Structure 1
Amino acid sequence: MSCPLPNDVLAEIISYLPAKAFFKLLPVCKTFYQLSSDSHFLLSQSYYNKAISGFFINSSNIFRSFIPIDPYAGVPSSSIEFLHQRESIILGSAGGLVFVLLRKYGWFDGAPDLWVYNPARGTRCQLPCPPGKFSQGGIAVRFMNNGDGVTTGYKLVYLTRRWNPLQRCRVYDSVARAWTMDKEIDFGGRELDLEHPVVCDDTVFWASSEVGSYMSIESCVVAFDVGDECTQIITIPKDTVIDFFDTIGISKWEGKSLCLIRHSTFSCKFVLWLLNKTSDGAPGWVKVQEISLAGLGFREPCYVSYVVLSEMASTKLLVFTKDSVLYSCNINNGELEKLSSLIDYHSLTLFPYSNTLRPCGEQQELLEAI
């Protein structure tokens, strides 16, 4: 080229590509290949590729499949086979990293190993085992910002399922490579959706739905501040009544605000609310959108078991399961797309996944070398 772009400008442009598209460029030239081991580029690419590109599917705590929703992103078949060939439980997924419990000799022989895994790169890194006895739960990830938008280290909030008012909460610091907190915290005795947390700044949110009076649900959102280690119970909007067959979910809105999504089986509608602070500093909800499933072509009452919001640039996709099918709805133009049919959908857990190049850690290894 007579006027080639400077390498730093070229790297900035390429960092907007998802991992799958970037790997296709590696044979083009030496500059592209060198970027694949440049830590600043890898973290920049992870920062610009936050949108959900697909879902890992667990059924009865065992990995089953991967469903893509972005045609320009994907997971290599070798990574899928890696999870299929081992007894694995996915605890959480964020920023292109998947946190997995693995057992080599069956679930009744010894403690499981905890690994952080990047499916797009085909790498993994073992983490120190959490303190105490293993129990089923979920992991939320708080990425640490170095000031220019690039996230380096992270903190894990590992909450395990308990059948009493106190939940066991453990916090892992990737920079210190150690678990820095292990305590029981009062979350009000609620059953939390541990597999689908939302992290906004220093706060982790979980949705909670519990059977209350006849055919009604006592729902709320539970917040945990990773910095000061305090909790808060946030009630849902006052004019929202949750019936037994309704569904609630939480997501991020425009990358910064907490969004509450409620699906009403009776009215066949999705209603989206944003969490804002009121004038007195207390949290309050503001309704931002309603989506009618009848307007999308569904003519009978719909049972929805899962719902999440995915954002890419100016596009917002509402992804949900209706009966045994996974759909996405573009809430900007109302376009509906069938993503996949689901088998045994009553016992499925969907983990959103972003297609990034984020390193697993300093001691990461290739799956092919295992």
Structure 2
Amino acid sequence: MASLPHDVLFEISSWLPAKAIYKFSSTSKFFSNFPRDKYFALKQTQNSLSKIDTCLFFQPDLTQRYNNNIAELHHLSGEDHSSGVSKVFINFLANSAKILSSSNGLILFRSTSDNKDQLFISNPATQTLLPIPIPDQLYTSVDADLKVVLQCDGQDNCMVFLFHDKEEDWCSNLECKVYATKEGVWKKKEGSFFTGSRNLKFDMPVIHNGVVHYISDCFPYFTKDSPYYRPYIMAYNFENGITTMLNVPKEARRGLHDISCDMRIFKWGKVNSSMDQSICLVRLRKCVFTIWVLTKYESSVWKKILKLRVKALGLIEKDPMVKGFSVMNGDLLVFATNKKVYGYGLSFSNENYMRIEEICEHGCDGSMVSFTSYSNTLRPCGGDDAKALLLTSTSFNEEL
């Protein structure tokens, strides 16, 4: 490679993950400049947008302010690959943070320390942090879960969207604020977010075509004559502030009041494939997964693509109980049992299509688990670089 022109090496290197770039940085003066070069970081970030997330974080699915002392990061392939993130940073997350969202190489987490309540955007690969102040009016309920989502589609700007009650008491119209890292201030969006009378699952947002979607719970606290008797999906358009309701499939409503029923929505379709991107709904009931894909958005038409009994997958564990699940990279069903995490391909484009693969063991000891996908990039946290805080002076090559 040393005989190649510098511009060719630059281009080739910009397609590598941050982990490999840091390894090459110790081989020559030329490569050593890459991790600190802003233009190179933006180029590598842009190239990474066409790739899938390769890793997953998971923590016990507890309240945001509870310090659980557990955070794990594993490679999605199930092979013994290093994630490119040091144990120092992972231990920091376990002791001081609750991960709330992720987007294209960055994560959004909330401090769980007793004397500090703050949001941070962070790049785990570069171990940098950017503090995001929580709006003053939300400090009236410091232990309440924040309804936030991170979106980083551009190269050097990220946005944090936050929904909150307009009044002190619960209401079905939420105000939306957005924090753009380039501007460094919270701004109110036009139009409130109408949530309906059910509770929405704000810990699992799906952003599709500039609209954020949340599914409601399905607990039986309404009578059949109520318009909110059945669960639904609420969508909020960030651009115009308009709220839209989407119906869930009729088949998904059957037995939904069963205590074992859990419905969640996720992105469907890979960025770098011919699959049409949409939204999928996953229902887990009595240890059976059923999955639908939204085929006609305006009329809420769904297509069922899979019905799968967990026991039929041939897991070695006796009577496995699902403790958390997600769809990652648009077509990979990931779920945790008491001790292990598995992946199951949902489309022809996935190399594990209709095949179960053990990803890793975990140490959450039977607790419900929340997943956050992650991609290893050099992406800047956004905003003024002087505000980005280096978490540790430990060499980036450590643990790689």
Question: What range is the shorter-chain TM-score in?
Answer: 0.7 to 0.9
How far is 1:31 from its partner?
3.3
How far is 1:307 from its partner?
1.6
1:93 aligns with 2:111: no
- Describe the shift of the 1:50–1:199 C-alpha distance in structure 2 as closer, same or farther (beyond 3 A): farther
1:178 aligns with 2:185: yes
Which residue matches 1:259? 280
How far is 1:293 from its partner?
2.4
Which residue matches 2:357? 336
Q: Aligned letter for 1:76?
A: S
Which residue matches 2:241? 229
User: Which protein, 1 or 2, shows the higher relative CO under an 8 Å CA cutoff with sep ≥ 6?
Assistant: 2
Per-residue CA deviation, residues 117-161 of structure 1 (Å, 9 max, x unaligned), is 11111111122332422342232123344xxxxx33222212358
Which residue matches 1:356? 377
TM-score normalised per structure 1: 0.82
In 2, are the aligned partners of 1:196 and 1:351 still within 8 Å (CA)?
A: no
Q: Aligned letter for 2:33?
A: Q
In 1, are the aligned partners of 2:148 and 2:162 still within 8 Å (CA)?
A: yes
Choose from 290, 293, 297 the match for 1:271: 290
1:311 aligns with 2:323: no
Greater strand percent: which structure?
A: 1
Tell me how large the CA RMSD over aligned residues is.
3.2
Which residue matches 2:55? 53
SS of equivalent residue, structure 1 residue 133 = helix
Which residue matches 1:148? none
How many pairs align?
A: 351
Which residue matches 1:189? 197
Q: Aligned letter for 1:56?
A: F
CA distance in structure 1 between the aligned counterparts of 2:53 and 2:206, rounded to whole angstroms: 14
1:203 aligns with 2:211: yes
- Describe the shift of the 1:220–1:177 C-alpha distance in structure 2 as closer, same or farther (beyond 3 A): same
Identity %: 25
Choose from 100, 106, 111 the match for 1:102: 111
In 1, are the aligned partners of 2:71 and 2:91 still within 8 Å (CA)?
A: no
In 2, are the aligned partners of 1:21 and 1:73 still within 8 Å (CA)?
A: no
CA distance in structure 2 between the aligned counterparts of 1:320 and 1:359, rounded to whole angstroms: 31
In 2, are the aligned partners of 1:91 and 1:138 still within 8 Å (CA)?
A: no
How far is 1:169 from its partner?
2.9
- Describe the shift of the 1:163–1:350 C-alpha distance in structure 2 as closer, same or farther (beyond 3 A): farther
**Unaligned residue ranges in structure 1 (runs of 5+):** 146-150
Q: Aligned letter for 1:311?
A: N
In 1, are the aligned partners of 2:193 and 2:236 still within 8 Å (CA)?
A: no
SS of equivalent residue, structure 1 residue 329 = strand
1:368 aligns with 2:395: no
CA distance in structure 2 between the aligned counterparts of 1:102 and 1:83, rounded to whole angstroms: 9
Per-residue CA deviation, residues 39-86 of structure 1 (Å, 9 max, x unaligned), is 322422542444251113144432521130332524211212323453
SS of equivalent residue, structure 2 residue 93 = helix
CA distance in structure 2 between the aligned counterparts of 1:9 and 1:189, rounded to whole angstroms: 57
CA distance in structure 2 between the aligned counterparts of 1:221 and 1:305, rounded to whole angstroms: 23
How far is 1:180 from its partner?
1.4
In 1, are the aligned partners of 2:328 and 2:373 still within 8 Å (CA)?
A: no
CA distance in structure 2 between the aligned counterparts of 1:307 and 1:103, rounded to whole angstroms: 24
SS of equivalent residue, structure 2 residue 216 = strand
CA distance in structure 2 between the aligned counterparts of 1:333 and 1:30, rounded to whole angstroms: 47
Which residue matches 2:157? 153
In 2, are the aligned partners of 1:42 and 1:359 still within 8 Å (CA)?
A: no
Which residue matches 2:313? 296
Which residue matches 2:350? none
Which residue matches 1:127? 132
- Describe the shift of the 1:233–1:300 C-alpha distance in structure 2 as closer, same or farther (beyond 3 A): farther
In 2, are the aligned partners of 1:249 and 1:306 still within 8 Å (CA)?
A: no
How far is 1:7 from its partner?
4.0
In 1, are the aligned partners of 2:123 and 2:378 still within 8 Å (CA)?
A: yes
- Describe the shift of the 1:302–1:81 C-alpha distance in structure 2 as closer, same or farther (beyond 3 A): closer
TM-score normalised per structure 2: 0.76
Q: Aligned letter for 1:232?
A: T
Which residue matches 2:300? 283
